[in-house]
Structure 1
Amino acid sequence: MLITKECDYAIRIIRALSNGETDSIPSISEKEQITLANAYKIARKLEKSGYIKSYRGSTGGYSLNCDLKQITLYDIITVIDPKMLLIECMQTGFDCPVHSHKSPCHVHCEFARIQKNLNQDLKKYSLAKIFLE
């Protein structure tokens, strides 16, 4: 499906840090019901993309490194799953035996329309609006 568990977990990690506090991965993992291994893996991806920041040491942990008013669900999902497509045939370079420019597949065209609308909806609201309402 489109929204993978990894994407869901990334959104949960950002939500756990949305209060502006620094928190440890074990604490976030427990609060958000994410295994430690997955939480660490996803936190590294979020840190690499600049959305969260890590602090080393005994009092270390993670905190937000972004303004939630400027970030959308689309931003977080595409960090974890850059291809985020409804169906495989929408991938660039996919060799579909049915769909072509001369003879378009109506199913492909409908999924493309749905994908476009979904992307627009995921970009519509900031995480601040979603988390703080």
Structure 2
Amino acid sequence: MFITRECDYAARVLRALSAETRLSVNEICEKESITAPFAYKILKKLQKAGIVKGYRGVHGGYAMNKSMTELTLFDVYSAIDPDLFIIECMASGYECPVDGRGDHLPCYMHRELCEIQQGVWKMLKRKNLQEVFAPEN
């Protein structure tokens, strides 16, 4: 599936962190109903992407490293899953077994899916996380 549970939980982790200056993994898990091993895995990826900042020690935990207005769902999802494609043939380097080879015609389906892929990315980039988590009523 395109948007995995891990991607969804990453957005929820950021939602929890957005309201606080710093939270422990246990506090994040409690607020968002996520298991600790899953939260650690997600936070590691978010930290690697520079989205969150980790603190060690007794008063350690995690905090936002970027503001919610700087981030989109695309940023979050691609930090978790860099191969954010609707289908595997969208990935660079993928060699289609039928596209223009031998008696096969060019793969027009691929062209259509590329347009859909671009549309999905555009939609994920259209609002920042502040707008997603606290829309104006």
Confirm or deny a common fold (TM above 0.5): yes
The residue number in structure 2 matching 1:69 is 69
The residue number in structure 2 matching 1:92 is 92
Structure 1 residue matching 2:62: 3-state secondary structure: strand
What amino acid maps onto 2:39 in structure 1?
A: A
Correspondence list, 1:1-133, <5 A: 1-100=1-100, 103-133=105-135
Give unmatched runs, 5+ long, in structure 1.
Answer: none
Distance 2:35 2:109 in 1: 38
Distance 1:119 1:99 in 2: 24
What amino acid maps onto 1:80 in structure 2?
A: I
The count of aligned residue pairs is 133
Q: TM-score, normalised by structure 2?
A: 0.89
Distance 1:100 1:4 in 2: 32
Query: How far 1:21 moved relative to its partner?
Result: 2.4
Distance 1:127 1:62 in 2: 18
Distance 2:40 2:129 in 1: 21
Distance 1:83 1:66 in 2: 22
Distance 1:8 1:33 in 2: 12
Query: How far 1:85 moved relative to its partner?
Result: 0.5
Distance 2:92 2:99 in 1: 13
Query: How far 1:99 moved relative to its partner?
Result: 2.1
Pairwise CA RMSD of aligned residues? 1.7
What amino acid maps onto 1:94 in structure 2?
A: Y
Misfit runs of 4+, over 4 Å: none
Give unmatched runs, 5+ long, in structure 2.
Answer: none
Query: How far 1:11 moved relative to its partner?
Result: 0.8
Pick which of 27-36 and 93-102 moved more.
93-102
Q: Percent identity?
A: 45
Structure 1 residue matching 2:53: 3-state secondary structure: strand
